[in-house]
A and B are shown apart, each in its own frame.
Chain A
């Protein structure tokens, strides 16, 4: 695949997603960043997975000022381009439709994002803890900025560490 062919992929993605695209950017030939609206998000992911044949590499959540940003990294293997599908999930509700409902590969990563950032994935088949212990207290989301870099104990309360 030459660079020109890779740059043409953003047009393919744009036409496939249609009106759902808020903005699309291709800073390098093998990286596309697409922003879609929160309510269109699972539908857009379904299009990338089923129509464009994307393989979900993983997804990233990160905290911005009044939202949590979700980025689903789809690798389009035949086009040799990484398509990053982004959305902003607004605080304080932090609710978004689940991709794991139709894509088993997204099951675990959504469980992880739910416990780390407190995002609720509506329609997720198995919304349990993945990495944190079962007794972890409700409302403590370790990857949030306001969570201190302090260890928790088995019962859940945090205490300063002495080394």
Chain B
């Protein structure tokens, strides 16, 4: 484990990228910050800029309009960073693969930009908040 990865795992700051979601994963992510789940006690904080972030929380499918903005956001994030793909849409496209406005899967887009990107899939429609926390913990324990 390098120094950078060790530092990454400590207190993870996240930036939320809503591509073309149905809002459901998004409100569940916000739910994580509120008293029932309260992930801030683990040092997970939602930040306002990708430049401050250790991890990107990506929800939804990437349509033609949002794809270049997603790539731009990924470039702006400090490396190494972890990309969490929340929900079935981000993981494999769900209903929307094959729609005229959804050209590629999100992991394809990110891999094309950076072949060594760390991508974590958290399936479910939407994943339960408990599943989201479990996914983050699991990902951090294998890094």
Seen from chain A, the residues whose Cβ lies within 8 Å of a Cβ on chain B are 132-133, 142, 147-154, 158-159, 161, 163
Contacts and interface: CB of A to CB of B under 8 A. Distances in A.
A148 B104 CA distance: 16
Contact residue range for chain B?
Answer: 10 to 19
A151 B103 contact: yes
A151 B64 CA distance: 8
A151 B102 contact: yes
Give the interface SS of chain A, mostly helix, strand, loop or mixed: loop
A66 B93 CA distance: 35
B68 interface: yes
Contacts of B93: 163
Nearest to B99: A151
Contacts of A152: 64, 100-101, 103
11 contacts: A132-B64, A133-B64, A149-B98, A151-B99, A151-B102, A152-B64, A153-B64, A153-B103, A154-B64, A158-B100, A161-B97
Interface in B91-119: 92-93, 97-105
B105 A149 contact: no
A22 B59 CA distance: 49
